[in-house]
Amino acid sequence: MAGGNQKIGKYEIVSELGRGAMGVVYKGLDPVINRYVAIKTVIRQGGGAEAAELAERFKQEAQAAGRLNHPAVVGVYDYGEDGDQAYIVMEFVDGSTLSELSKYSGVFDVEGIIDLMVKVLDGLNFAHSKGIVHRDIKPSNIMRTADGEVKITDFGIARIESSELTQIGTVIGTPGYMSPEQLMGQRVDHRSDIFSCGILLYELLTGERAFASTNVTSTIYKVVHTELPPVSKICPTVPAAMDPVLARALAKNPGDRYQSAQEFAQALEAALRTAPVPAVAAPAPEDERTVIRALQFDDQGTVIATGNSRPDETGGISASQADAGAGTAEPLRESALREAPAPVPARNRRAPMKVTLGLVGAVVVGIAVAAVTLLHGEGGGADKAPAVPQVVTSPHAAEAPTASAPAARTVAASPGRHKAGDTFRDCEACPDMVVVAPGSFVQGSPDTESDREPNEGPQHTVKIAYPLAVGRYEVTRGEFAQFAGDTGYEAMGCWVYDGSWRLDDTASWRSPGFVQTDDHPATCISWQDAEAYVRWLSKRTGKRYRLLTSSEWEYIARAGSTAARAGGDDPAAACSVGNVADRSAAKVYQDWKVHGCQDGYIYTAPVGKFKANKFGVYDMSGNVFEWVQDCWNSSYQGAPTDGSAWTQGDCGKRVLRGASWFSMPRYDRFAFRNHFAQDRRSATFGFRVARRLPGS
């Protein structure tokens, strides 16, 4: 049932949002007040006590959430029955669940995590004050909206103090997130939710499952009997002041925990104030701890795909094409990936960041009122929880000012002559530019360079005799959105990666197959898309913007270096200067060939997170490949030596320079060149802009 004039009760069905074993969630329209709603249904079929309890529990969900009018709780508007199905009508939420967001790196920092948890605890404190215990706090039941707000959903197994429905003796919930007393079938109260929030916070801060195991019995034993190591020992960038806060929240005895959600929230905020907070949370170091594979799950928690296969290095095509995303295998997917809001800084510190979402669709609530009745011997499995949160961000951000997020930006270009190193912007929506001095360099690679490709020679001297301004950062998604919004430009269809490469007609720079914010580089960009952007930027500013030439790109990337790569000749040093295929990614895609270091990101990183080179330019290594003006030629024989674009050769294909988040060491070299058709889009393709300065 979806679309057309079909209805549930008085509500018109717009589309199907999700489906599980026991029901479906629809996007609907309330025709009376003309607002969109989410309609959660359950089929009332069969007989007996089990079916009756399921129906009663579904009704109880409506009663529980319906008693709660709080910004952090998904609102319930109506309950009804239509034929053989019961339904709950709820607030339609434009956002993503934490189980979706936490699969991707770079989404949360420490302040953002604490702010999120404080909002969750605020909502739970309100529920507890109304006599309602949620009993199933986990990543898939917490949502973040497009404005960075938090919504608690799925009160399907909540206990209302006045209800006697399955209160003692039956264990219902998700074992990896349940309190010891809940797992042992004892009576639970609001302090059980506090324990579950402690587990959720622990996982968000560390990027690891708190009580990881391969079976439900082992999980139960760990929750009841084992203590977790201090979070700061796993992630040194998490303040040590968080350790006692989490230890108290995760106390085995409810009497030793915080006695209210408000008390827990206040302790978190106090810990954040009393210790300096690094800019980002680092991934856990490589050691003897178990690394959990990033599995994909359906709405019931059942594994449906591992998504960890990497195509071979050639995929039936050139090695350079394989690295840029030309594989053709069809992977299993959990669902269409959705865009997510940006991380929201800690409360009372600064205004939330807002990100425009490119998709109308939303994730709403957990579909089924799923339960694991352990005392009845039903298999549930601790590992049926959502995928392991991948809270891995750049460990280098805490090391030096150059590794933190971009600083405040100059609003306009200063008049007069520019000096090397000057930065400016030609308009509020324009990219940051940095002035690069003229100079010369040797382009290409010597025959002795390891992993050298034949198209990287012969080496030749190139002279850049003119001052040039180049984008300090790759063009961001936010900047590209300005162009798309002004022009109505569409750029749909992109090669995306989720274990193997495939063409997705619905993917675009708005939805490249992983979570981004407006500070990430625009990707899923073709050469034609990049050219359209620079034409728009030139018209808007009255300045002649363009793509870099291949020679200019290599001159700026090298910044005087004669080494093979930005981190020097050691591939393991790459993570200090760029976002490449590294150990962070290998935890998810275990057969990748990676650099022997951790940059903290699996997919793209926000621009400016790594060290700038000597010219003051960021991300010339990794993050995304960058389109340049040049046509493709299979060698440098006859190439220009004055810095100009090579406009002869196969101009149906254009050159890409640099490396990307997908690049293994052999491709992360200054001399490496790639090429694709002008209209090719990939989740590894982006660009940066340039313009020659007056008088040159």
Range name among 317-321, 386-390, 664-668 with the lowest pLDDT average: 386-390
SS3 readout for 4-63: CCCEECCEEEEEEEEECCCCEEEEEEECCCCEEEEEEEEECCCCHHHHHHHHHHHHHHHH
Range name among 391-395, 590-594, 638-642 with the lowest pLDDT average: 391-395
Q: What is the DSSP string of 436-464?
A: E--EEEEES--TTSTT--GGG-S-EEEEE
Q: Mean pLDDT, to the nearest integer, of 309-335?
A: 32
Statement: residue 395 has pLDDT above 50? no
Is residue 400 exposed (0-12), middle (13-18) or buried (19+ Cβ within 10 Å)? Answer: exposed
Range name among 62-76, 87-101, 180-194, 279-293 with the lowest pLDDT average: 279-293
Cα angle 47-51-54, degrees, rounded to a multiple of 5: 165
Is residue 55 exposed (0-12), middle (13-18) or buried (19+ Cβ within 10 Å)? Answer: middle
Which domains does the chain carry? 98-307+372-396 (1.10.510.10), 420-692 (3.90.1580.10)
- Which residue intervals of 281-417 are DSSP H helices? 319-323
Q: Among 50, 54, 40, which residue's Cα sits nearest to residue 8?
A: 40
Handedness of CA 603, 607, 613, 615 (dihedral sign): positive
Angle between helices 190-206 and 110-129 (to 10 degrees): 170
- State the pTM of this model: 0.48
Q: What is the DSSP string of 238-262?
A: S-TTHHHHHHHHT-SSGGGS-SSHH
Average pLDDT of the chain?
75
List 441's β-bridge partners, or say none.
462
Active site residue 136: yes
Range name among 237-246, 272-281, 377-386, 623-632 with the lowest pLDDT average: 377-386
Q: Among 696, 614, 657, 669, which residue's Cα sits nearest to residue 434?
A: 614
Pairing of strands 11-19, 35-43: unpaired
Statement: residue 65 has pLDDT above 80? no
Statement: residue 303 has pLDDT above 60? no
CA dihedral 157, 161, 167, 168 (to 10 degrees): 140
Considering the candidates 109, 122, 136, 383, report the single residue annotated as catalytic: 136
Q: Per-residue pLDDT tens for 143-170?
A: 887 677 899 987 755 454 434 333 333 4
Which position has the higher pLDDT, 547 or 405?
547
Residue 244 CB contacts under 8 Å (≥ 6 apart), including other chains = none
Euclidean distance between CA atoms 29 and 89, whole angstroms: 10
Euclidean distance between CA atoms 167 and 171, whole angstroms: 9
Assigned token pair, 592: 């990748």
CA distances to 4, 28, 32, 87, 139 from 10, in Å: 14, 10, 9, 12, 32
Residue 98 CB contacts under 8 Å (≥ 6 apart), including other chains = 116, 139, 140, 142, 143, 144, 200, 204, 386, 389
Euclidean distance between CA atoms 54 and 60, whole angstroms: 10
Structure confidence at residue 529 as a pLDDT band (50, 70, 90): very high
Q: What is the DSSP string of 530-549?
A: HHHHHHHHHHHHSS--EEPP
**336 DSSP assignment:** -
Q: Mean pLDDT, to the nearest integer, of 376-398?
A: 28
Statement: residue 509 has pLDDT above 90? yes
Place of tokens 């790759």: 474
Euclidean distance between CA atoms 375 and 541, whole angstroms: 69
Q: Mean pLDDT, to the nearest integer, of 34-51?
A: 73
Range name among 4-13, 536-545, 557-566 with the lowest pLDDT average: 4-13
